[in-house]
Amino acid sequence: MRILLLILLLLHGLIHLIGFVHEFQLANVRQLSGKLSVPVGSIGLKVLGVLWLATTVLFLLGAVQVLRSQENWSILVLIAIALSQLLILLYWKDAKAGMAANILLLLLALPALKEVRFKSENESLKQAMLDQAEIFQPDSNRMGELPAPVQAWLLSHAGGHLSGKRYVSLKQTGSMRSKTDGKWVPFQAEQTVTCNPAAFQWSVRMDMAPGLFVLGRDRFENGKGRMLIRMLGLFSIADAQGPETDQGTLVRYLAEMIWYPWFALSPDILWETIDEHRAMATLRIRGTEGSGVFTFNDQHRPVAFNAQRYYDRKGTSTLEHWHVEMDPTSYREFDGVSVPTKSVVRWDLEGGKFEWLQLEVTSMTIRENRQP
């Protein structure tokens, strides 16, 4: 798709040189009869010649930006399309065929522009979340009150990172699907998490097919959740919010504590011992509550999380069993903290098990300041 876009920009841009050459009489151009839809006079023709050249330059600059993988290429191309279409309308008899190329480029540039704006919106929301974040400073006396497997986990895998941290940044890859027999769709995601107050933002891009992508954002802040998904950045195909979404995002935050283990010492969590390998955590934030059971192996590593979470059934939601399984062999150390990097997530529904997410953490950074 990128190669096709480059070829289209280069060819379509260079074709506009014909108008410049014709109006400045640099060569005899048979392709242009010189008949305009609106008479403009001799000076006007020179102005139009400059516009033909300017359009060429904009298309070529757009191609350079695409080649350099610069996200703002769509802005240059959309301006070029606008100028090109104006010229095509004025030279309609000779240039109307160029309208097809403009339409194709428009279909490629608009989603790219929407993606840039979606990312900018994500950055603004993330920065607002970080501006509210304070350093997490738990009560160290709580350690002795935690279930034995949780204590062992923190002491062996959290290193010295039990306080003094403001937020965590993660990058992830993986694949997901929307139904049991559905196609696995690859994705790339970034996530930012704060623990004081508890909040996260997850931004994702899913590549459905060449040229067809989905952008998504999942947020939890002030005890409230919201999930937004847009096709090509243009059309909203999901915008979930309300009590069920609040509970679901809170449970997700609780499960993902495996990446920020110091939050286990938060006064917002009530711990209960089940046995030597399992402990239940109940998190309550501003009226939203959720619980889940962590399972630890003999190496004191969390290997599973089970909870009741709301499952969307096309407009209605029901509480279903939600299971996260962490690969115990995937533990890696980031900034002194040992975390699982691979996990799979599934729903245990009445009709059977539905594994829908396969995820890998590729990088994780623990930050102390407010800057991303």
pLDDT tens track for 233-255: 999 989 999 999 999 999 999 99
Contacts of 1 (CB under 8 A, 6+ apart): 210, 211
Quote the CA–CA distance of 323 and 78 in Å, as a whole number.
46
Task: Return phi, psi of residue 20, to 5°.
Answer: -65, -50
Contacts for 275 with CB less than 8 Å, ≥ 6 apart? none
- Sign, CA dihedral 46-52-56-62, equals positive
Phi-psi region of 341 (alpha: psi -120 to 50; beta: other; left: phi over 0): alpha
CATH number given to 135-367 = 2.50.20.10
Distance CA 272, CA 38 (A): 80
**Number of C-alpha atoms within 13 angstroms, CB side, residue 148?**
7
One digit per residue, pLDDT tens: the chain, 372 residues? 789 999 999 999 999 999 898 888 888 777 677 788 888 888 999 999 999 999 999 999 999 999 998 988 999 999 999 999 999 999 998 899 999 999 999 999 999 999 999 999 999 999 999 999 998 887 778 889 999 999 999 998 886 667 667 899 999 999 999 888 899 999 999 999 999 999 999 999 999 988 899 999 999 999 999 999 999 999 998 999 999 999 999 999 999 999 999 999 999 999 999 999 999 999 999 999 999 999 999 999 999 999 999 998 777 889 999 999 999 999 999 988 999 999 999 999 988 999 999 999 999 999 875 544
How far apart are alpha carbons 236 and 220 in whole angstroms? 19
Return the structure tokens found at 78: 């959309």
| Omega cis (within 30) before 197 | yes
* Domain regions of the chain by residue span: 2-111, 135-367
Computed from CA positions of residues 357, 362, 367, 371, in that sequence, does the dihedral angle turn out positive or negative? Answer: negative
Residue 69's H or E segment, with its range, is: none
How far apart, in whole angstroms, are the C-alpha atoms of residue 340 and residue 343? 7
**pLDDT tens string 20-68:** 988 888 887 776 777 888 888 889 999 999 999 999 999 999 999 999 9
Angle between helices 41-67 and 73-90 (to 10 degrees): 150
Decide if 169 contacts 364 (C-beta within 8 A). Answer: yes
Torsion of CA 120, 125, 126, 127, to 10 degrees: 90
